[in-house]
Amino acid sequence: MFKKILVANRGEIAVRIIRACRELGIGAVAVYSEADRAGLHVQAADEAVAIGPPPAIESYLDMDRIVAAARATGAEAVHPGYGFLAENAEFARRLEREGIVFIGPNPDALELVGDKLRARAAMEKAGIPIIPGMKSAAGDASETAAAAKRIGFPVMIKASAGGGGKGMRIALGEDDLVPALEAGRREAKAAFGDDSVYLEKLIEDPHHVEFQVLADNRGNIVHLFERECSIQRRHQKIVEETPSMFLDPALRQKMGKTAREALRVSAYNNAGTVEFLLDKDRNFYFLEVNARLQVEHPVTELTTGVDLVHQQIRIAAGEPLGLKQEGLQQRGHAIECRIYAEDPANNFLPSSGKILAYREPSGPGVRVDGGVYNGWNVPLFYDPILAKLIVWAETRELACARMVNALRDYVILGINTSVPFLRDVISHPRFRDGDTTTGFVKKYFDGWKEGKPGPEVLALAMAAAALGGLDRPRGGLSGARREADGAASPWLSLGNWRIGGKS
Amino acid sequence: MDFEFLLDGTLKVISLEKKGGRLVIRLGETLLEADVETLADGTVSFLVGQRSYLAHLGRDGTRILVSVGGEKVVVQTPGQDGGHPKRGEEAGQKGISLVKAPMPGRVIKLSVAEGEAVRKNQTLAIVEAMKMENEIKSPHEAKVRKIFVAAGELVDSNRTLIELEPVT
């Protein structure tokens, strides 16, 4: 087993991985950009190394600096988390040359599944159903327009190097095609450094269901069932759950078998996720392999009892898979909500700034994978995910109830977050019914606004603002019995209050 | 004792009086009697009758942010700090409207030029933040009167990007 691992990431996922390292008795090295010196992952790690200025391209994406940090600290392996260098075959090769273990798939498999077009071809050859579409990257505009007509509108434009919704655009008809292509190419270039895109038939209002798979270095492959990830905005998931209400045991078994097969034909190792789209008739199509630990991995952990990060580390260290397919079971129901710094009432635009009050929910079956704290300044350079709230309960109904309560208890002041929006999503009768297709947010939440507080809440909020103790020394009043000592009674100090009082 | 706050730009007066160990809170038509405990770290516990509420507070300059039972209220302390929002003042004149950056980011493309006529919902500019491209669209049919930024420029939230005037 490794003695020291460098975690080449930031935020909640870096914290999650650092914790796993420490649980296994492995030293954890954090890396940080200038914007993240005070980051939670730096606080959580055993060692931390500065790797450059805030822009990711000069820090978290800079292979030289990350390799140098691993060398300087003597880390034997690098865990890339998700995003940044997680699915970068060149990085995996570079580490291999340096004699450092990349905690993820081998570079050849990364290259194959990272090239969406090659992956489609490989899956088709193995008899795995794929979405009808182009077999090579889109050429000039007229060629692409002809291809789009052959496939039939509406079409989806996708980045060949893609993932995470970046570069994805829908063209409903010919008029949309050129601007959509242009935007898709530009976003793909910015996200992946490669502007090649291709077209697929748009599957309308599908379910997005993915299977978690683990493969060791000796050819053993198991799947850990599905995650339903259909609640999305901007083609990015915001709510994930397992099991999926849309699968029955026979379909689950068939898709799980297909997922294992997809990794087998890719000669894949370590953790991976096979994504499928299901149309309304429950036909499933291979979408892509996500060659990394997924953001939504905790729902699988809570229902299978398997720690996926521990598994990744053990597999990378060369251990054989200790899990057998027939020994794996789903127990209960888990839901994850992604807590983003964004304004759900304003087109989900990112929000940045200082967190002025922060309290995470807790209680039985409640897990928070967080990357922020009170006083943290959320930088605008990176993905706006702040934390993930995950709940487990015996049934879906109870899990929903637990999630709504946990979201109500989640206090984040100072920046806009998706919390109130998510509360309304989980409370929505159609969500409760399991009507969770990718069109859900658009269908039921277009033009959503946060509910206005009632008069009682408003009055209490303003009273709290007046009383708040914000101007008084901290701690002096904390926990004291104030009735005995009238002088410390909160509203007796009103006279000293400096904000706008006209008394 | 009365306190003044701005709520959504409107001045509100909240009156707090101590009465027999309780706090009488009056805001407009709303009258509440509450038992109050000020706790650590900017939290206040209220008992209104038997109903329990926990308020969390945060402060940012003249803004006070409060969360009560999962609902958020933002008030401003009025006064010299210019707490009164100026929204719409300059924009109100002669039908000129200002298109502002909805969040901090980088202008990666300007899709229109000064003097150009634009349709409603036409893309005016693209601003990138946190790796996402955001299309800034025209709120109505208009003519581009002035452009204040250049492609590649970093902009703060609320920075005026483009000034629109009515089509004559």
User: Nearest-CA distance from A3 to chain B in Å?
Assistant: 34
pLDDT for B120 beyond 90:
no
CB contact under 8 A, A489 and B18: yes
Residue A450 within a domain:
no
Query: What CATH code is carried by the domain that includes residue A302?
Result: 3.30.470.20
Pick the closest to residue A228 from A236, A240, A237, A211 (CA basis): A240
Q: Sort A364 into a burial class: Cβ within 10 Å, 0-12 / 13-18 / 19+.
A: exposed
Q: At what angle do helices A11-23 and A308-316 cross, to 10 degrees?
A: 70
Q: Which residues pair with B16 in a beta bridge?
A: B25
Structure token pair of residue A302: 């809570």
Q: Cβ of A491 under 8 Å from any chain B Cβ?
A: yes
Whether the Cβ atoms of residue B16 and residue A466 lie closer than 8 Å to each other: yes
A50-68 CB burial, b ≥16 within 10 A, e <16: ebbeeebeebbbbeebbbe
Q: A164 with A218, same domain?
A: no
List chain A residues with CB under 8 Å of B57: 357, 413, 464-465, 468-470
Whether the Cβ atoms of residue A272 and residue A213 lie closer than 8 Å to each other: yes
Q: Nearest-CA residue of chain B relative to A355?
A: B58
Single-letter amino acid code for the residue at A377: N
User: Nearest-CA distance from B143 to chain A in Å?
Assistant: 22
Q: A219 with A186, same domain?
A: no
DSSP character string of A392-409 = EESSHHHHHHHHHHHHHH
Which of A10, A16, A169, A292 is an active site residue?
A292
Q: A40 with A79, same domain?
A: yes
pLDDT at B9: 83
Residue A31 within a domain:
yes
414-473 in A: which are within 8 Å (CB) of B? 414, 419-420, 423, 450-451, 453, 455-470
CB contact under 8 A, B40 and A474: yes
List chain B residues with CB under 8 Å of A183: 126, 133, 135
pLDDT for B89 beyond 50:
no
Q: Decide which of A158, A183, A201 is a domain's last residue.
A: A201
pLDDT at A326: 97
User: Nearest-CA distance from B86 to chain A in Å?
Assistant: 19
Instruction: Give the count of beta carbons closer than 10 Å to the beta carbon of residue A271.
Output: 27
Q: A274 with A376, same domain?
A: yes
Q: A293 with A389, same domain?
A: yes
pLDDT level of residue B94 (50, 70, 90 thresholds): low
Whether the Cβ atoms of residue A18 and residue A28 lie closer than 8 Å to each other: yes
Query: Rounded to 5 degrees, what angle do the CA atoms B154, B158, B164 make?
Result: 100
Q: Nearest-CA residue of chain B relative to A359?
A: B56
Q: Nearest-CA residue of chain A relative to B24?
A: A463
List chain B residues with CB under 8 Å of A492: 18
B136-154, pLDDT tens digit by residue? 888 888 999 999 999 988 8
Q: Which residue in this structure is represented by tokens 């929006």?
A: A421
Q: Coil, helix or strand for A289? A: strand
- For B33-38, what is the mean pLDDT? 93
pLDDT at A278: 95
Q: A405 with A420, same domain?
A: yes
Residue A258 within a domain:
yes
The DSSP 8-state label assigned to residue A130 in this structure reads B
Structure token pair of residue B85: 């929002």
Q: Nearest-CA residue of chain B relative to A356?
A: B58
Residue A120 within a domain:
no
Q: Coil, helix or strand for A286? A: strand
Q: A211 with A195, same domain?
A: no
Residue A451 within a domain:
no
List chain A residues with CB under 8 Å of B105: 350, 380
pLDDT at B166: 84
User: Nearest-CA distance from A24 to chain B in Å?
Assistant: 33
Q: Cβ of A166 under 8 Å from any chain B Cβ?
A: yes
Q: A174 with A303, same domain?
A: no
DSSP character string of A54-80 = SSGGGTTT-HHHHHHHHHHHT-SEEE-
Instruction: Give the count of beta carbons closer than 10 Å to the beta carbon of residue B86.
Output: 9
Whether the Cβ atoms of residue B136 and residue B127 lie closer than 8 Å to each other: yes
List chain B residues with CB under 8 Å of A407: 70
Please name each of the domains of chain B with its CATH number: 2-76 (3.30.700.30), 93-165 (2.40.50.100)
CB contact under 8 A, B73 and A467: no
Query: What CATH code is carried by the domain that includes residue A136?
Result: 3.30.1490.20
Q: Nearest-CA residue of chain B relative to A348?
A: B134
User: Nearest-CA distance from A108 to chain B in Å?
Assistant: 27
CB contact under 8 A, B2 and A503: yes
Q: Decide which of A169, A201, A233 is a domain's last residue.
A: A201
Q: A187 with A76, same domain?
A: no
Whether the Cβ atoms of residue A60 and residue A8 lie closer than 8 Å to each other: yes
Residue A502 within a domain:
no
Q: Cβ of A481 under 8 Å from any chain B Cβ?
A: no
- From CA A316, how far away is CA A310, in angstroms rounded? 10
pLDDT at B38: 87
Whether the Cβ atoms of residue A5 and residue A22 lie closer than 8 Å to each other: no
Count up the domains in chain A and report the number: 4
Chosen from A342, A385, A462 to mutate, greatest number of chain B CBs within 10 A: A462
Strand locations in A160-220 (E) = 169-171, 197-201, 207-215
- From CA A339, how far away is CA A415, in angstroms rounded? 12
CB contact under 8 A, B102 and A359: no
CB contact under 8 A, A408 and B46: no
Residue A123 within a domain:
no
The DSSP 8-state label assigned to residue A463 in this structure reads H
User: Nearest-CA distance from A193 to chain B in Å?
Assistant: 13
Q: Nearest-CA residue of chain A relative to B11?
A: A500
Structure token pair of residue B33: 């009697």
Q: What is the largest CA-CA distance in chain B?
A: 68
Whether the Cβ atoms of residue A78 and residue A5 lie closer than 8 Å to each other: yes
Structure token pair of residue A24: 């296994």
The β-bridge relationship of strands A47-50 and A27-32 is parallel
pLDDT at A164: 67
CB contact under 8 A, B70 and A382: no
With a cut of 70, list the residues of chain A below it in pLDDT: 163-164, 469-503
Q: A331 with A408, same domain?
A: yes
Q: Which residues pair with A233 in a beta bridge?
A: A236
Q: Decide which of A140, A172, A201 is a domain's last residue.
A: A201
Residues 6+ apart with CB under 8 A from B6: B12, B75, B76, B77, B78, B83, B84, B85
List chain B residues with CB under 8 Å of A191: 131
Whether the Cβ atoms of residue A483 and residue A477 lie closer than 8 Å to each other: no
Instruction: Give the count of beta carbons closer than 10 Å to the beta carbon of residue A125.
Output: 9
Q: Cβ of A389 under 8 Å from any chain B Cβ?
A: no
Structure token pair of residue A461: 């909020």
**How far apart, in Å, are the Cα atoms of A256 and each of A116, A261, A279, A307?**
21, 9, 17, 19
Chosen from B130, B134, B156 to mutate, greatest number of chain A CBs within 10 A: B130
- From CA B158, how far away is CA B150, in angstroms rounded? 16
pLDDT at A299: 98
A292 given a catalytic annotation = yes
pLDDT level of residue B79 (50, 70, 90 thresholds): low
Q: A278 with A391, same domain?
A: yes
Residue A237 within a domain:
yes
Among A351, A450, A495, select the one facing B103 at the smallest CB separation: A351
A163-179, pLDDT tens digit by residue? 667 889 999 999 999 99
H or E stretch at A390: strand A385-393
Q: Which domain holds residue A182?
A: 132-201
Q: A273 with A422, same domain?
A: yes
Chosen from A460, A478, A496, A498 to mutate, greatest number of chain B CBs within 10 A: A460
Q: Coil, helix or strand for B53? A: strand
